[in-house]
Amino acid sequence: MFKSIDWTGDSLRIIDQTQIPERLQFRDLVSLEEVYQAIKRLQVRGAPAIGVAAAFGLYLGLRHKPYASREEFLQDLEIQVQYLKGARPTAVNLSWALNKIQQHLKEHPGSPSELLEEALKMAQQILEDDRSRCEAIATRGAALLPDEAVVITHCNTGILATAGIGTALGIVYKAFEQGKRIHVFVDETRPILQGARLTMWELQQAGIPATLITDNMAAYAIKEHRIALALVGADRIAKNGDVANKIGTFSLAISCHYHRIPFYVAAPLSTFDFSIPDGSCIPIEQRDPVEVTHIWNKLPITVRDANCWNPAFDVTPAKLITGIVTEHGILSPPFEESLEKINNKVHPN
């Protein structure tokens, strides 16, 4: 299976996702600025993949610089962390990875070159951890899918969105690998069309039957095609279980609720932001209106000077979510309690 993000030993190799499905083009990123731009321009996207990219971006920004002292190193680190955090504001994995590295380096004794080595190690660890977390999520989630399950998904949460096999789509891969017959309905996911471009491409590569629909068909598809459940990813989860995810997730969750079918979110525990009590506090990235008024900056679809709204994410309230599949278990409502139980299991006193 191909890797959408990997460390070559000298550069961060990514698949340029803006080129899919037209061509499979790898890019070797060698500087902080290149990583920042790749995240901002959605060449690398998906909350977990962004976290991994940022970790290596930090290392790339720190290497080859003649730091005179540990203090100077840590000062520059702070600047770069803040800069990278600005690339995309909603996905918490980005700041999670950066904070984790920064915290560790601050506490780690040693010279600038030793700290640099440590930064690389940590980035590699974050990448490896993401891979194994994907595996764990997929295995736990696959148990939710019966044979001949018809599933609906939104956006892209597969190989392209992570360093591993994915979160929500990873569950589909695992169930398929287990011999279950799965059929996936794929929301095209306007405005950027990650479902049409990326998820359809991944599923075609994997030989998993899939049907593309426009986002507004989801409710009718659930009714007409006996869809059993929805599986989506997450960009940030508040303490109470409210989930920020790709715009359109909220609408899909409401349709599932109306049709009384389960709505599952799949995400590593690092997607939780414990500093945020509920979804109303999650910053929602507003993107360029041209993404709505044009298809990929190419084809205008409306009048000139159209006023439009372009939030990249929305917030699905916890009450619409059946369960959150994490690497350590499937959380169920009330999520705060469920989370506590899992934390106690993972880190027993």
Q: Hey, which residues are catalytic here?
A: 235
Q: Write phi, then psi, for 275 (nearest 5 degrees).
A: -80, -5
Q: Is 17 in the site for its own copies (CB under 8 A)?
A: no
CA distance 167 to 138: 7
Q: How far is the CB of 3 from its own copies (least distance, A)?
A: 20
Amino acid 62 reads: L
CA distance 321 to 245: 12
Site string for its own copies, 186-215 (x = CB under 8 A): -xxxxx-x--xx--xx--x----xxxxxxx
CA 342 to chain CA centroid, Å, is: 22
Strands 210-213 and 182-187: parallel
Q: How far is the CB of 116 from its own copies (least distance, A)?
A: 42
Output 36 or 250, the one with its CB closest to its own copies.
250
Output 107 or 305, the one with its CB closest to its own copies.
305
Residue 205's alpha-carbon distances to 122, 201, 247, in angstroms, are 32, 6, 26
Q: Which residue, chain included where needed, has tokens 């996936």? A: 184
Q: How far is the CB of 14 from its own copies (least distance, A)?
A: 20
CA distance 16 to 25: 6
Residues in region 86-115 near its own copies by CB under 8 A: none
Structure tokens at 139: 């295995």
Site string for its own copies, 150-179 (x = CB under 8 A): ------------------------------
Residues in region 301-320 near its own copies by CB under 8 A: 301-309, 311, 314-315
In the set 33, 75, 111, 220, which binds its own copies (CB under 8 A)? Answer: 220
Q: Which residue, chain included where needed, has tokens 């899909």? A: 252
Q: Is 248 in the site for its own copies (CB under 8 A)?
A: yes
Q: How far is the CB of 232 from its own copies (least distance, A)?
A: 12
Q: How far is the CB of 30 from its own copies (least distance, A)?
A: 31
Q: Is 264 in the site for its own copies (CB under 8 A)?
A: no
Output 8 or 216, the one with its CB closest to its own copies.
216
Site string for its own copies, 276-295 (x = CB under 8 A): ----------------xx-x
Cβ burial, residue 154 (10 Å; 0-12/13-18/19+): buried
CA distance 12 to 83: 18
